[in-house]
């Protein structure tokens, strides 16, 4: 199956289960949902050819390191924080937006490390989160029908024909923008931006006016006085903590794009998606007989699977069997997104279903996607109270089921936007009109994100 046969580390038992008929394009023999229709197949072919020649965005050893860290999270030794935009856009690949997003993730992880007393795995929804699933292929406005916006990877948001026709050049642009984002994140982290001795670098201008300022400042003071506690917790010296890791993730929706980034590497067996560390599969494309599941089963990256209320026992068990036949640890992260009104009805049965399979998974909670609603003015929003309730219920349900919630998956930004209502400043529906920037789902703003991190700590430690 691969040219690196015989070299490198021993292969796990499951490799013999990988059918010999898998290859990066075998998904093409299965029905693929949510794909773009390009009017010029030749232009698509040549863009994909170029993409396949470009250098990768991440490395196999980073991917394997993330797998190890997810395995540790499964064992209760780490907590996963996955967050970022619902959809990145090309126009927002700029320095302040990237640094602010990094700052909020760093601050949240600091609150989590401190409060949970365990290392945090930081995974950004960035450097490639450019494709979106849509409920319809076409959108009609005032009698004009055009292809739906599928994310900057495919077409542009503006509602005119030129913008909405899928453009294969965007695949190359997305790769370049992802590389720029990665490059900047890596340089910031390497340059000391993420140094835990200098949390002042992570401050955002508006923290001092925030109702949360006092709580957060107490936390950083206490960290400043006792950096040594981390040494004890992680078993590593303080020096190595100067550098914190960031991993990338995106929904691997656009299969030709993912295929072009799927490679073999020297001294490793198998195939890796080198376009991201952690691809996830949405429920809309998680059909057991579909192209996405076929693609995902053949790559060695750790995989996220979104799990909603419509998932049943057989489907979930089937996914685990196909995607992790060798029952390896660190391979599967189940991201449940139920909605606060449905989580109590559906999560317990799904936890039980997974337990019956005996397959190891990490459960993390996405309290965003089941709680989207529209205001009377037709603005898409989420209420902070519902997000918080779902997250708190997730902790309780896992605890009551003898399972463990090992992380959270959030849509957030480091900007002071007004997209979700509620939170410490109690944003109202009226406030949404002030600073609403998202073209897709509403995100937690900086303060709401930090507040949620503090609530996660409180809830996690309850009943410990």
CA distance 411 to 417: 12
Centre a 10 Å sphere on the Cβ of residue 4 and count the other Cβ atoms it contains. Answer: 14
Q: How far is the CB of 369 from Co ion (least distance, A)?
A: 6
Segment contacting Co ion by CB under 5 A, of 64-72, 83-91, 289-297, 336-344: 83-91
Segment contacting Co ion by CB under 5 A, of 62-70, 123-131, 351-359, 438-446: 438-446
Give the tokens for residue 60.
Answer: 């196999």
CA-based torsion, 427, 428, 434, 439: positive or negative? positive
Rule CB under 5 A: say whether 441 interacts with Co ion: yes
The nearer residue to Co ion, 303 or 412, going by C-beta atoms, is 412
Report the largest interatomic distance among the alpha carbons of the chain, rounded to a whole angstrom. 65
Q: 35-45: b or e for each residue (b if 16 or more CB lie within 10 Å)?
A: bbebeeeeebe
369 contact partners, CB below 8 Å, separation of at least 6? 306, 308, 337, 441
The nearer residue to ligand PEP, 71 or 283, going by C-beta atoms, is 283
Segment contacting Co ion by CB under 5 A, of 85-93, 172-180, 231-239, 288-296: 85-93
Q: How far is the CB of 123 from ligand PEP (least distance, A)?
A: 13
Q: Name 306's bridge partners.
A: 335
For residue 390, the Cα-to-chain-centroid distance in whole angstroms is 18
Binding at 306: pick from Co ion, ligand PEP, none (beta carbon under 5-8 Å per type): ligand PEP
The nearer residue to Co ion, 113 or 253, going by C-beta atoms, is 253
For residue 430, the Cα-to-chain-centroid distance in whole angstroms is 30
Q: How far is the CB of 133 from ligand PEP (least distance, A)?
A: 6
CA-based torsion, 204, 210, 212, 218: positive or negative? positive
Applying CB under 5 A, among 36, 51, 86, 387 the residue interacting with Co ion is: 86
CA distance 418 to 433: 8
**Which parts of this chain interact with ligand PEP (CB under 6 A)?**
86, 133, 282-283, 306, 337, 369, 441
The nearer residue to ligand PEP, 306 or 346, going by C-beta atoms, is 306
Q: How far is the CB of 86 from ligand PEP (least distance, A)?
A: 5
Binding at 101: pick from Co ion, ligand PEP, none (beta carbon under 5-8 Å per type): none
- Residue 253 is classified by DSSP as -
Q: How far is the CB of 399 from Co ion (least distance, A)?
A: 27
Give the tokens for residue 417.
Answer: 């936007």
Rule CB under 5 A: say whether 444 interacts with Co ion: no
CA distance 364 to 305: 10
Q: How far is the CB of 154 from ligand PEP (least distance, A)?
A: 15
Q: How far is the CB of 279 from ligand PEP (least distance, A)?
A: 12
Segment contacting Co ion by CB under 5 A, of 48-56, 82-90, 319-327, 421-429: 82-90
The nearer residue to Co ion, 67 or 443, going by C-beta atoms, is 443
Strands 247-251 and 144-147: unpaired
Give the residues lining the site for Co ion (CB under 5 A): 86, 441
């Amino acid at each position: 199956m691969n040219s690196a046969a015989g070299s490198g580390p021993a292969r796990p038992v499951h490799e013999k289960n990988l059918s010999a008929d898998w290859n990066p394009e075998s998904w093409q023999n299965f029905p693929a949902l949510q794909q773009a229709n390009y009017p010029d197949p030749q232009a698509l072919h040549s863009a994909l050819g170029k993409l396949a020649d470009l250098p990768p965005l991440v490395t196999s050893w980073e991917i394997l390191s993330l797998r190890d860290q997810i395995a540790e999270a499964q064992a209760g030794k780490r907590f996963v924080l996955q967050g970022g935009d619902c959809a990145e856009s090309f126009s927002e690949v700029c320095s302040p937006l990237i640094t602010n997003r990094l700052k909020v993730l760093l601050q949240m992880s600091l609150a989590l490390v401190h409060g949970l007393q365990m290392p945090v795995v930081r995974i950004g929804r960035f450097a490639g989160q450019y494709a979106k699933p849509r409920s319809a292929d076409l959108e009609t406005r005032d009698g004009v029908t055009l292809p739906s916006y599928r994310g900057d990877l495919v077409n542009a948001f503006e509602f005119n024909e030129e913008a909405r026709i899928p453009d294969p050049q965007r695949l190359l642009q997305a790769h370049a923008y992802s590389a720029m984002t990665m490059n900047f994140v890596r340089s910031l982290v390497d340059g000391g931006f993420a140094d835990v001795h200098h949390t002042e670098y992570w401050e955002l201008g508006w923290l001092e006016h925030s109702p949360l300022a006092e709580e957060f400042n107490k936390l950083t003071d206490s960290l400043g006085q006792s950096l040594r506690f981390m040494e004890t917790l992680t078993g590593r010296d303080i020096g190595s903590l100067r550098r914190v890791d960031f991993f990338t993730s995106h929904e691997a929706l656009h299969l030709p794009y993912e295929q072009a980034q799927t490679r073999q590497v020297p001294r490793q067996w198998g195939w890796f998606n080198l376009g991201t560390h952690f691809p996830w599969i949405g429920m809309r494309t998680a059909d057991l007989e579909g192209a996405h599941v076929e693609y995902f089963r053949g790559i060695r990256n750790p995989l996220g699977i979104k799990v909603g209320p419509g998932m049943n026992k057989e489907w979930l068990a089937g996914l685990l069997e196909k995607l992790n036949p060798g029952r390896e640890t660190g391979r599967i992260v189940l991201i449940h997104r139920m909605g606060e009104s449905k989580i109590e009805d559906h999560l317990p049965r799904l936890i039980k279903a997974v337990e019956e399979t005996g397959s190891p998974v990490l459960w993390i909670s996405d309290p965003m996607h089941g709680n989207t609603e529209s205001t009377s003015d037709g603005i898409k929003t989420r209420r902070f109270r519902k997000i918080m309730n779902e997250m708190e219920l997730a902790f309780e349900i896992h605890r009551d089921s003898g399972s463990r919630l090992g992380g959270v998956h959030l849509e957030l930004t480091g900007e002071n936007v007004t997209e979700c209502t509620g939170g410490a400043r109690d944003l109202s529906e009226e406030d949404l009109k002030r600073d609403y920037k998202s073209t897709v789902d509403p995100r937690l703003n900086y303060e709401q994100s930090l507040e949620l991190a503090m609530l996660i700590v409180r809830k996690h430690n309850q009943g410990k």
